[in-house]
Amino acid sequence: MLPADWIEHRRADDRELLGWIRPAGEEFVAVDRLGRDVTGTGDWLAAEAALDERGLRWLAERWSLTLDDGTEQRVRFAEVSPEQVVVVAEQWGAVLPGAPTWTLPFPAPDTLRPFEGDAHVYDA
C-alpha cells in the first residue's frame, strides 16, 4: 500500500507517473515505480531531477526474479502499481503466450533485480 505522505511525481510532457517523493525529516527521497529509493535524502528539486532522469525506460528491460526454490527466472513487467507488481517469465528473449506470471507485493521485494547476465544470450 502506498504511504499517505508520498507525493506523486509525473513527467511534464505527458503526465505519466515516474514515481514519488517522500519526506525524510526536513529533506526528501525520490522513490521509483517499484517503491524503491532512487536517491538518498536531499532537496526537493534533486529528487524531482532524479526521477525525471530515470524516466520509465528501465521498466522495459529484462529483470531477474529469484524463485522460492532459489532458481533465477528472467522476467519482464506485466503490471506495476502501488497495489502489486506482476512479472511474466521471459524465454528466448520473448514473453510467450501462457508464460508463468508472479504477483509480487509493492514495494517490490529484493528477489526482483535488474538482470545482470548477457542480454544477448537467450537461453531459457
Residue ranges and CATH numbers for the domains of the chain are 7-58 (no CATH), 61-114 (2.30.30)
pLDDT at 122: 53
Average pLDDT, the chain: 92
Question: What pTM did the predictor assign?
Answer: 0.87
The residue count of the chain comes to: 124
| Alpha carbon distance 39, 57 (integer Å) | 18
Query: What is residue 118's predicted lDDT score, i.e. its pLDDT?
Result: 60
DSSP state of 85: E
Q: Which three cell numbers stand for residue 106?
A: 509493492
Q: Are 78 and 97 in contact (CB under 8 A)?
A: no
CA distance 91 to 68: 19
| pLDDT at position 84 | 97
Spans of the chain, pLDDT less than 70: 93-94, 118-124
